[in-house]
Structure 1
Amino acid sequence: MPLSETAESQKDKQEKMKMLSKETNVNNEEIGILVQSTYYSQHKEINKGASMKQLFQDWPFVFQEIGMGVHFKQLTGIDLKEMFFASLDKKRAQLLKFLKTTSTERKKQVMRAAAKLEVSRGQLEGGSKDVKDMVILLLAYFEERQEVMFHHVEESFLAEDVVDKLPVTPCIIVSALCMMFGSFYCFNIHYLVELASTLEFLQRCFFNINPDKKQLPINPKVLTLIADLADHDWRTSS
């Protein structure tokens, strides 16, 4: 706990955030400061194994973009969205080109996924479309199932309309990729076996989280893709 904090001050700030979460217009800077100063209490409760329902009641802003970003940075030292978008700018074009060309020569499932994306072209534009395409092609490359990561709901639905129908692990509704990924870290959730390769690739190449190889060896499938991308980049730029 920060030296300037006490159990009582942490509780007071927690109650203040609960009240603020019910308001429609909040000051993001104020929320960020409150979440940062109560990080100790948040993560202590998470480490004790509190249920998601209880955590949502106790720390509602950690389930929102501003709060999760602050919590993730306190935990990892990485700015969640800033790191992802910086990596996206540098690596998106190369990765999409590789997945849509070179990899389709070896993996029929990637070729089929790429063909489906061409059919649906125009539904999304720019960065959003590229991110969607990238994740779908990565899932196809690693032979992992889209339906485990993506859950399709009507745009008019509210959170309470769908929450009981969702899996207990993080998934993407619409394109909340950063928050989906951040949830695994903020709430101490293991990667799903069905998505392990895709999530580890995103972890290492887009969120720049690379644990010591001795403690956590790189997934062989992920290592192969990283090596192939490096080789492809060298060949196409030479």
Structure 2
Amino acid sequence: MPKRVSNAPEDIARGPADQYGCVRWQSNCPPGDTVEGLEEKKSEMKHLYHTEGPAGAERGYVIQLMKTTYYLQRKHINACPPPSVSELKSEWPYLFIPRELYSHFNLLTDINILRKMEQAMEEKGKLILKFFQHRPAGTSADEVERILVKYSKEEKCDPCPCVILLLMAHFKEKSEGLILQTDVFSIAVDVERTILLPASPRLIVLGDVFTATNWMLSIEGHVVVGPHQNIVAGLAALFACYYAFNLVYQEEASNTLEFIQRCFLGINPTSGTKATKWISPRSGKVQEKRNSNVNLHVSALLKRLMDFEWL
């Protein structure tokens, strides 16, 4: 019988929020454990994944092991040079199960991202829809109108993708900068064979973006999560990966991502952004990294939404 592991999230000390909203950027090794012992637990999980696959994540034992090995996960992720996402998936396969990705984000930021995203779509999502339906001056009217017409025509339309598309239209960002569409019956190998996947993360929806219920997640040109159901859960997984894997926001969707960060999740550093140009050690390509200024486009929309809600 496997030994029971007692380490829960509250057992891991909270640190200073000095990594753009992270409070456990690199925790200490759990009391009573050693790096060697944690490596053995990691090997045990890898073996279980090879024998049981993703279904092994349902074991309470695996859930506890993932919490216990959080220190080792962060040590691997924060290594210099950083590992590729494919390396991380090979070493920590259960980290790419949505529930464990959410759990890692929770330990990293003290935020239950799935619950927060669901609440935000229910409350702030409705406000954003009303805001754009009134189309105040300064919105990208043509694209906003196209999205709203499509949304109104679909009887089973999920408001989540509509809200994201409206935000991207407002910021003059193309939807492909964050969301890709594929055939409703596609599997991961189909997507990798038929779509040139970019290095930066993408939420891949199966079917029409307004009515799809299934999704996948790609990073560094490969599908790493999915397919799974519930587009809001997909958006939570997409956003969690930027923090969990130390990724910067891609330039083509940086305003929308920072808006989600600040408005939906309440991660509001007084300065900085997860987007400015730099050379990625993972891909060798120009990406974006933090600077000292809060995004003015995002701040302006947040203010207008507050004014709209008040009025």
In the TM superposition, 1:52-201 aligns within 5 A as 52-103=85-136, 106-108=139-141, 109-119=143-153, 121-122=154-155, 124-125=156-157, 129-163=158-192, 165-174=196-205, 175=231, 176-201=234-259
Greater strand percent: which structure? 2
Q: CA deviation at 1:130?
A: 0.7
TM-score norm. by structure 1 comes to 0.88
Show the counterpart of 1:229. Answer: 305
Q: Which amino acid in 2 is paired with 1:160?
A: V
What secondary structure is seen at the aligned counterpart in 1 of 2:181? coil
Structure 2 distance, partners of 1:19, 1:157, is: 28
Instruction: Return 5+ residue gaps in structure 1 as ranges.
Output: none
Structure 2 distance, partners of 1:218, 1:115, is: 33
Q: CA deviation at 1:161?
A: 3.3
Q: CA deviation at 1:229?
A: 0.7
- Of 189, 193, 210, the residue aligned with 2:268 is 210
Structure 2 distance, partners of 1:113, 1:104, is: 17
What secondary structure is seen at the aligned counterpart in 1 of 2:182? coil
Structure 1 distance, partners of 2:72, 2:243, is: 16
Instruction: Return 5+ residue gaps in structure 2 as ranges.
Output: 1-28, 206-230, 273-290
TM-score norm. by structure 2 comes to 0.69
Structure showing greater relative contact order (alpha-carbon pairs closer than 8 Å, 6 or more residues apart): 1
What secondary structure is seen at the aligned counterpart in 2 of 1:151? strand
8 Å contact 1:151–1:173 — kept in the other structure? yes
- Of 44, 48, 51, the residue aligned with 1:16 is 44
Tell me the alpha carbon deviations over residues 84-113 of structure 1, each in whole angstroms, 9 at most, x when there is no partner: 112222212111110222347742232233
Moved over 4 A (4+): none
Percent of paired sites with the same residue: 31
For the aligned residue pairs, the C-alpha RMSD in angstroms reads: 2.0
Structure 1 distance, partners of 2:76, 2:165, is: 34
8 Å contact 1:83–1:207 — kept in the other structure? yes
Q: Aligned residues, how many?
A: 230
Show the counterpart of 1:29. Answer: 60
Q: Which amino acid in 2 is paired with 1:45?
A: H
Structure 2 distance, partners of 1:179, 1:193, is: 19
Question: Cα gap change, 1:230/1:189 in structure 2, threshold over 3 Å: closer, same or farther?
Answer: same
Q: CA deviation at 1:56?
A: 0.7
Q: Which amino acid in 2 is paired with 1:14?
A: K
Q: CA deviation at 1:15?
A: 1.4
Greater helix percent: which structure? 1
